[in-house]
Amino acid sequence: MAKQSQTFPAGIVIFGAKGDLTRRKLIPALYNLYQGKFLPETFRIYCVDYISVEEAGYKADLRSGVDEFSRNGKTTENEWLAFADHIEYQSGDFLKAETFVTLKSALGKFDISNKKRGRRIFYYAVSPRFIETISEALYRQNICNQDNLDRIVIEKPFGTDLTTARLLNRFLQKRFAEKQIYRIDHYLGKETVQNIMAFRFANYVFEPLWNNRFVDHVEISVTEKVSVGARGGYYDSSGALRDMVQNHILQLLCVTAMECPKEYEAEAIRTAKNAVIKNIRPVSGAQVFKQVVRGQYKGYKKEDHVASSSTTETYVAAKLFIDNKRWKGVPFFLRTGKSLTRQSTTIIIQFKHAPLKIFKDDIEPNRLIISIQPELEISLLFESKVPGLQMKLKPVEMDFTYKESYTEAIPEAYEALILDVLKGDPTLFMRADQVESAWQVVMPILEAWQKQPAKELHQYIAGTEGPTAAVDLLKPFAKTWTGLPEQQKT
Ligand code: BG6
């Protein structure tokens, strides 16, 4: 990241400024960027929400959010005060034009005082139902009207299915240029996810093996220990497939499986990723129940704001194939779920067996483990001779850990992403076609489930590894998911 890369003044508007995302992620990220001198010298943060608040109390609350959630620990008095001086709160109803008139005037004054039209970032930290309303108001008030300077940032979920996502894309594209629209998938901002491209394309040794000649199968797991908690209202109408697979997991699949782009440039990269999704073999009809396992943790129906007859899945495991030259025949096993044993995101590249069996011992084929979180590591498992007078083999691991290799701090995903928005670099954001392709993959699965809502909805006990059926899905490629001891099967 280039320091002070922003010479242009920036007006950063956060809609939904009283919400959880602002307090937990956005303000801590902006504060860290400020501390690291990555924000422009001249910037203002306009926090907009419908609630009237007293500004000092509001800022104190933001500060406690930074103290609690920033990777840099607690704020220091002077630095916080200097940062907070850039923040102003504006109470305003998103449904009323006057909110945007006031905002326009504030942004206009900011430009006048800088003698320069600054860049403007409009961050929608709001419920999806406000996306159209806010966009229409920005458009009508002519606030977000300069293609090269003004950007909107939209959080997931982007639509609730293919039709709504398409409509939303068309709606936004009528009001803004595509290059102004930043659709966030925060997984793409994670340091370890960004490193996958470096690992694959800046090294010569791995890429020749990265195909169906050498790879037996791939596992992508995003397991969570947390339950749906207070998010039952949203989650019950979403489910794990929409919440995690349509976006984060398919994006992990893309970075794992994509071809090398011609250059490290936003459009080349996004096109290469989209090609992966477009080549995923569709799973539909009866095949859905063979290739996709869904589960619900026991007790889910008693969570707040969850329907007592809910058939929403809190767990999904799927077997997908990518029908291209590189990956033909290699299954990609994906899984995610809530209320599991632990929080862990990993990508496993499981290589094939050595072609000749010349040793007596059973040999474990090579395995590359890319740990995205909570550990940040890449390990390669290989066989080695156990020291001694016999030819006895045992798998060992060669590890790269960020902790041991670097002294640099690891930025939060939101820091990287907000900085990219300020710079105008959309590489790590979802283009309209990517979002739609991803919906195309999950739609037939959703449709099959909608037709038979209770069919094979496996119940699992919270705090376990999820349904046994997800282990069976791996057969005959593997006995169990990597890292999951066989005896722990549920
Ligand atoms: C969000 C989902 O997008 O990602 C949540 O809506 C999920 O349900 C979260 O818990 C996981 O993100 P992370 O960064 O904590 O792995």
Q: Could you give all domains of the chain from N- to C-terminal order, each with its CATH number?
A: 10-155 (3.40.50.720), 188-409+433-489 (3.30.360.10)
Per-residue model confidence (pLDDT) at position 374: 92
Q: Which residues contact 323 (CB under 8 A, 6 or more apart)?
A: 279, 280, 281
**Residue 285 CB coordination number (10 Å):** 12
Nearest to 256, CA basis, from 199, 183, 340: 199
Tokens coding 353: 């067996």
Per-residue model confidence (pLDDT) at position 385: 96
* Structure confidence by residue, pLDDT tens digits, 15-55: 999 999 999 999 999 999 999 999 999 999 999 999 999 99
Say yes or no to pLDDT of 467 above 60: yes
* Structure confidence by residue, pLDDT tens digits, 222-278: 999 999 999 999 999 999 999 999 999 999 999 999 999 999 999 999 999 999 999
Name the residue of 234, 244, 245 to mutate for ligand 1: max ligand atoms within 8 A of Cβ. 244
Question: What is the rounded average pLDDT of the residues 144-148?
Answer: 96
Per-residue model confidence (pLDDT) at position 2: 46
Residue 286 pLDDT grade (very low, low, confident, very high; cuts 50, 70, 90): very high
For ligand 1, which residues put their CB under 6 angstroms from it? 156, 224, 243
CA pair distance 479, 89, nearest whole angstrom? 56
| Ligand 1 center–CA 319 separation, angstroms | 22
The number of C-alpha atoms within 13 Å of 184 and in the hemisphere containing its C-beta is 25
Which atom from ligand 1 is nearest to the alpha carbon of 373?
Answer: 16
Long-range contacts of 205-214 (CB under 8 A, 24+ apart): 206/368, 207/260, 209/351, 210/326, 210/349, 211/326, 211/327, 212/326, 212/327, 212/328, 212/329, 212/330, 214/351, 214/352
| Ligand 1 center–CA 340 separation, angstroms | 14
Per-residue model confidence (pLDDT) at position 4: 47
* Structure confidence by residue, pLDDT tens digits, 180-195: 999 999 999 999 999 9
Question: What is the rounded average pLDDT of the residues 105-124?
Answer: 97
Per-residue model confidence (pLDDT) at position 3: 52
* 391 contacts 359 by C-beta, under 8 angstroms: yes
Which atom from ligand 1 is nearest to the alpha carbon of 248?
Answer: 3
Percent of the chain with pLDDT over 70: 97
Say yes or no to pLDDT of 295 above 70: yes
* 89 contacts 57 by C-beta, under 8 angstroms: no
